[in-house]
Structure 1
Amino acid sequence: MVKGIIKSDFVINLDHTFSSGQIFRWYKLGQGWIGVSYSSLIYLNQLDDKTIEYRISGKIKEEDLVEFLGLNNNYFEIFKDSTLEKIYKNYAGLKLLKQNKWECAISYICSSYNNIKRINKIIENLAILSKRKLRLGSIVMYDFPTSSQLKKFSEKDFLKLGLGFRSFYLVDLCSKIDEVILEEFEKEKTEKIKRFLMSIKGIGNKISDCILLYSFKRLECFPIDIWVARALLKLFYHDLKNILKEVNIKNIFKKYNEISLYFNKKYYNKAGYVQLLLYKYIRDIK
């Protein structure tokens, strides 16, 4: 086990960050949070608004943990907007994570027409396939399976793990990408990566944008699901009137790309962080 303390130049709030819906398989444990990322079992505890302590069993180094947590990033320029400024006051320290690309892609395939509790269960079932246990004190969790491991399993195997119709999508994904391919995309333009991701069955605008935002940290990506659509209706009705002839949920999804362009123009090509704030806000007031 490795342990240490990280001091950030910017505010971080672990509760806001890990309850924001952007990542799966992270759980509240006592005063802190525990989960698996980058083949490591990690426990994080908040000491003050800029200091966290960590304990790690696995491969991740402190500098990589800093990058994963987004500790060196801030998006202050977008809070000149009064609407977002009010929301951010309640969610100061909400960080945009940079997740492992392979696990993120698999996780969001599993998220299709699903809820967070069930997504976590499916991913836990998949993790057992890795056969690699990670231990931190009395806590044991499984590492995420590699692409070479998942490719050995069939659609029927995934059905038994509770993936349902997503089993077919996962088999297709495993036949087209792996960890190396995803890392090679790091240097490519967002549009090229998105086109490739959308060639995989089950991946459309929203899921591709989630993968790009949460693991490639492409801030121009603005995933819109039913929750974000509701937040847009509640907080940005007058903005939507500039895009939609009739403002309603159905038309928000019809004009998905136009809305993304509008909010990137409004928020300095950082619409992705706006999306994270909106999702957290609307889920908390449901």
Structure 2
Amino acid sequence: MNNMVMLNHVSHFNIGQILESGQVFRFEKISDHSYLLNAKQKLIKITQQPDSSSVAIYNTTASEVEEIWMNYFDINTNYENITATLAAKDEWMAKAVEFGKGIRILRQDPWEMLISFIVSQNKSIPHIKACLKNITNKFGFPINEVDGMGEHYHSFPTPKELSRATEEDLRECKVGFRAPYIMDACQKVLNGDVILNDLYIMPIEEAKAKLMTIKGVGPKVADCILLFAYSRMELFPTDVWIKRVIEGLYFEGKDVKLEEIQKFASEYFGELAGYAQQYLFFYGRENALFKDISKKKA
């Protein structure tokens, strides 16, 4: 890979923590300090030495970094203020922020997030990654070969490209019962029943309701799509894993309904709820908090 661009003096940026925090799936770790990332119909390699505020992005240009990757990595958001505000909440939040202080919430493609989180239901992160790779290899287009390694990487298929898939095709990609959900998403987006760009300006509850007209999109999946594609930071996606973490840290291990978890997060974390969710998710998973209950599901 050629055409390397350096980002210098970037605080609160750890590429490993960002990519391993459960918000993105089309990446590969190639060494302790380097990752391949397939996003925005491009393939880049990102290298960052430990504790360094400099990041090297390969296979890009200065103009692409400015037009695509600065926004994608949320570079211009002040994470100094965000982390300070959250850390002041309580001891557990301070520990979570300190542990994952290099996390940034990516600004990803809505269509890719829709399909990714439909696929994510009841699957571990390695399984999600494998399914999405199967889908892109089968229905996307080759975009690059990596450093002579002989492996081609593929673009994420558009709704039109993916709509050509039959249910059998999708099941061959190991998505299981989610195959009809993916087909329904293609149909609704192509028919204009769901216009993804409109969700940027919709009130949050209206946007959630619109996404949930797609088969297989429930509250948690809708929240993930809106957080990771639309930067709706007031949302706190809640699955079994994060539910157990919140119960263990804030409710003395008592069983609490999902609605109560959501209400707590909204009131306690406010407009920073999405950031809090990512720090707590990463901290809880990496430290195996409540592992016996959660079983590390995404």
Does the alignment reach a TM-score above 0.5?
yes
Say if 2:243 and 2:261, in contact at 8 Å, map to a contact too: no
Say if 1:57 and 1:136, in contact at 8 Å, map to a contact too: no
Give me the CA root mean square deviation.
2.2
- Per-residue Cα deviation, 1:51-108 (whole angstroms, up to 9, x for no partner): 20101269x9212211111222211322211221122112111111111111111111
Q: Say which of 111, 131, 134 aligns to 1:125.
A: 134
- 1:263 is matched with which residue? 265
- 2:52 is matched with which residue? 49
**Structure 1 SS opposite 2:59:** strand
- 2:257 is matched with which residue? 252
Deviation at 1:36, TM superposition (A): 0.5
Partner Cα separation in structure 2 for residue 155 and residue 4 of structure 1: 42
**Structure 2 SS opposite 1:49:** coil
Give the number of aligned pairs. Answer: 274
Deviation at 1:40, TM superposition (A): 0.5
Q: Say which of 250, 257, 268 aligns to 1:236.
A: 250
Q: After the TM superposition, which parts of structure 1 deviate over 3 Å for at least 4 consecutive aligned residues?
A: none
Percent identity over the alignment is 27
Consecutive unaligned residues of structure 2, counting only runs of 5 or more, are: 289-298
Partner Cα separation in structure 1 for residue 96 and residue 172 of structure 2: 42
Matched, 1:78 2:83: no
- 1:208 is matched with which residue? 222
Q: Say which of 169, 172, 176 aligns to 2:181.
A: 169
Q: Say which of 102, 115, 118 aligns to 1:106.
A: 115
Partner Cα separation in structure 2 for residue 190 and residue 6 of structure 1: 34
Say if 2:4 and 2:56, in contact at 8 Å, map to a contact too: yes
Partner Cα separation in structure 2 for residue 109 and residue 15 of structure 1: 24
Give the AA of the match of 1:51.
S
- Per-residue Cα deviation, 1:206-260 (whole angstroms, up to 9, x for no partner): 000000111111011111111101111221116x9xxxxxx31xx433x2xx432
**Structure 2 SS opposite 1:260:** helix
Partner Cα separation in structure 1 for residue 9 and residue 155 of structure 2: 28
Partner Cα separation in structure 1 for residue 48 and residue 278 of structure 2: 21
Matched, 1:272 2:277: no
Partner Cα separation in structure 1 for residue 267 and residue 213 of structure 2: 27
- Where do 1:58-73 residues align within 5 Å? 61-63=64-66, 64-73=68-77
Structure 1 length normalisation: TM-score? 0.89
- 2:14 is matched with which residue? 13
**Structure 2 SS opposite 1:36:** strand
Change in Cα spacing, 1:172 to 1:236, as seen in structure 2 (3 Å) is same
**Structure 2 SS opposite 1:42:** strand
- Per-residue Cα deviation, 1:5-43 (whole angstroms, up to 9, x for no partner): 112553211111111111102121122111200000011
**Structure 2 SS opposite 1:112:** coil
Q: Say which of 195, 202, 207 aligns to 1:188.
A: 202
Bigger CA drift: 110-119 or 81-90? 81-90
Partner Cα separation in structure 1 for residue 87 and residue 202 of structure 2: 29
Say if 1:16 and 1:94, in contact at 8 Å, map to a contact too: yes
Change in Cα spacing, 1:122 to 1:57, as seen in structure 2 (3 Å) is farther
Q: Say which of 55, 73, 97 aligns to 1:88.
A: 97
**Structure 1 SS opposite 2:257:** helix
Say if 2:145 and 2:153, in contact at 8 Å, map to a contact too: yes
Structure 2 length normalisation: TM-score? 0.85
